[in-house]
Amino acid sequence: MKRRIFPTVISYTLLIIFCVVFVAPILIVFYNSFKSRFYISDSPFELPDAETFAGLENYFEGIQKIGFFSAFGWSLLITVLSVIAIVLFTSMTAWYIARSKSRFSSILYYAFIFSMIVPFQMVMFTLTKTANLLSLDNPLGLVFVYLGFGSGLSIFMFTGFIKSIPKEIEEAAMIDGCSPLQTFFKVVFPVLKPTSITVAILNAMWIWNDYLLPYLLIGSEYKTIPIAVQYLKGGYGSIDMGAMMAMLVLAIIPIILFYLFSQKYIIKGVVAGAVKG
Partner 1 sequence: MSLKKYFPVFVMPTLIAFLIAFVIPFVLGIFLSFTEFTTILDAQWTGISNYIKAFSNDDFLNALWFTVKFTAVSVVTINLAAFALANILTKGLKGTNLFRTVFFMPNLIGGIVLGYIWQLIINGVLKFFGVTITYDPAYGFWGLVILINWQLIGYMMVIYIAGLQNIPSDLQEAAKVDGANRWQTLRNVTLPLVMPSVTICTFLTLTNSFKLFDQNLALTAGAPSGQTAMLSLDIYNTFYSKVGWEGVGQAKAVIFFVIVAVISFTQLILTRKNEVEH
Q: How far is CA 62 from the centre of its chain?
A: 23
6 near partner 1, rule: CB under 8 A: no
Give the Cα separation of 8 and 47 in Å (integer): 33
38 near partner 1, rule: CB under 8 A: no
Give the Cα separation of 31 and 148 in Å (integer): 41
Cα angle 85, 90, 91 (rounded to 5 degrees) comes to 110
**8 A C-beta contact, residue 164 and residue 95:** no
Please report, as residue ranges, which positions from 58 to 87 form the binding site for partner 1 (by CB under 8 A).
none
- Shortest distance (Å) from residue 11 CB to partner 1: 5
Q: Which is nearer to partner 1, 53 or 89 (CB)?
A: 89
89 near partner 1, rule: CB under 8 A: yes
How many residues bind partner 1 (CB under 8 A)? The answer is: 94
Among 87, 145, 192, 243, binds partner 1 (CB under 8 A): 145
Please report, as residue ranges, which positions from 174 to 203 form the binding site for partner 1 (by CB under 8 A).
174, 179-181, 184
Give the Cα separation of 58 and 242 in Å (integer): 5
107 near partner 1, rule: CB under 8 A: no
Give the Cα separation of 205 and 138 in Å (integer): 21
- Shortest distance (Å) from residue 191 CB to partner 1: 16
**8 A C-beta contact, residue 62 and residue 242:** yes
Q: Which is nearer to partner 1, 169 or 255 (CB)?
A: 255
**8 A C-beta contact, residue 173 and residue 186:** yes
Please report, as residue ranges, which positions from 208 to 247 form the binding site for partner 1 (by CB under 8 A).
208-212, 225-226, 229-230, 233, 241, 244-245
**DSSP structure class, residue 188:** I
- Shortest distance (Å) from residue 165 CB to partner 1: 16
- Shortest distance (Å) from residue 28 CB to partner 1: 6
Q: Which is nearer to partner 1, 12 or 69 (CB)?
A: 12
C-alpha torsion 181→186→191→194, nearest 10? 80
C-alpha torsion 195→105→120→126, nearest 10? -140
40 near partner 1, rule: CB under 8 A: yes
Among 1, 2, 5, 8, binds partner 1 (CB under 8 A): 8
